[in-house]
Amino acid sequence: MSTLITGGAGFIGGWLARALADAGEVVDILDDFSRGQRDTFLDALIQTGKVRLIDSNLIEAGIDGLGTDYTTIYHFAARVGVANVLGAPFETLRDNVLLVERAIDLARRQSDLDRFVFASTSEVYAGSLEHMDFPLPTPETTPIALTDLSAPRSSYMFSKLYGEAMVLHAGIPFTILRPHNIYGPRMGMAHVIPELLRKAHEAPDGGSIEVYSVDHTRTFCFIDDAIDMMRAVAVAPTCNGETLNLGCQAPETAIGDLARIVVDTVGKSLNIDAKPPTAGSPARRCPDMSRMTALTGREAGTSLADGIRRTYAWYDAEVLGTAT
């Protein structure tokens, strides 16, 4: 039994690889480090002898030389990140579709594939939120509407939605996941929780931090809970052929309240300097997780306060330096 994780050096892929290795599985992670970096976390995984790094790009190198005995393939490799997408919408569309095509080709070559798990995005609901009477919490059965095709940010959503359609028609055993606000250690800095942690960590006690979209609400899912659900869907027969939300249904937390939890975690007396909403940011985002729970028996159990505490402990030690 062996597993391949494309884009496996990244945030979710790395933690998934560690969880699988800890459970005794053999894991190959494929990554070209175009976004991430080879850090001590990744080196420690490789040193266990259960995780092998394949430094390769699926588009340029193709799938020649890769194995044919994987029982599970998780496909995370993609051009992601708002800054990367806004500056290269065509490349986002082209590369993400090509990456899915290569991953499907690889899946079709396997001798005994149990599941192909495709990481889509919660962004597929963006057009529905804009044009329709949008249910919250949002079930996977919500009809999909499109955003403006000319908007550069839409390119990422279009590439993932097209990827979902490719997977649906590929003739392989699959589960499609739509992640919602997964957070935790080692996720980089271009996300709301680590960014707020950085601001609070660096601010002088008694000062203030700028917080945008303070009235917008989100539900946040700690990485350990997300990994538990991902591993469950990959082996559950009930999840074969399903499209499922990945995240936490409750509680919905306003970004301003999130900032206050972050400040309390860092342990300073800071004021929240409320700024306008970020352009393109939905006022609410909350997945309906009832189908995930019904099919796997799994649900997020880590409280937001505990998840942020554990996330800050890692960032304080690995990125931000000793807390002041």
Give me the tens of pLDDT residue by residue for the chain, a chain 324 residues long.
699 999 999 999 999 999 999 999 999 999 999 876 789 999 999 999 999 999 999 999 999 999 999 999 999 999 998 888 999 999 999 999 999 999 999 999 999 999 999 999 999 999 999 999 999 999 999 999 999 999 999 999 999 999 999 999 999 999 999 999 999 999 999 899 999 999 999 999 999 999 999 999 999 999 999 999 999 999 999 999 999 999 999 999 999 999 999 999 999 999 999 999 988 788 999 999 999 999 999 999 999 999 999 999 999 999 998 544
Rounded Cα distance, 147 and 141, in Å: 18
What was the pLDDT predicted at 35?
Answer: 77
Structure tokens at 244: 């499922």
Q: Which H/E stretch holds residue 163?
A: helix 154-168
CA dihedral for 112, 96, 135, 211, sign (positive or negative): positive
What was the pLDDT predicted at 324?
Answer: 44
Distance of CA 142 to the CA centre of its chain: 20
Residue 248, helix vs strand vs coil: coil
CATH number 3.90.25.10 is the correct assignment for the domain at 192-218+251-286+302-320: yes
CA dihedral for 300, 303, 305, 309, sign (positive or negative): negative
192-218+251-286+302-320 and 2-179 share a CATH fold: no
Rounded Cα distance, 201 and 210, in Å: 13
What was the pLDDT predicted at 61?
Answer: 94
In this structure, what DSSP letter does residue 239 have?
G
> In what side-by-side order are the strands of the sheet with 115-119?
51-55, 26-31, 2-6, 72-75, 115-119, 174-179, 242-246
Q: Write down how long the chain is.
A: 324
**Which CATH number applies to 2-179?**
3.40.50.720
Rounded Cα distance, 245 and 224, in Å: 16
What was the pLDDT predicted at 280?
Answer: 76
Distance of CA 19 to the CA centre of its chain: 16
Q: What global pTM score does this model have?
A: 0.96
What was the pLDDT predicted at 39?
Answer: 93
Domain coordinates of the chain in residue numbers?
A: 2-179, 192-218+251-286+302-320
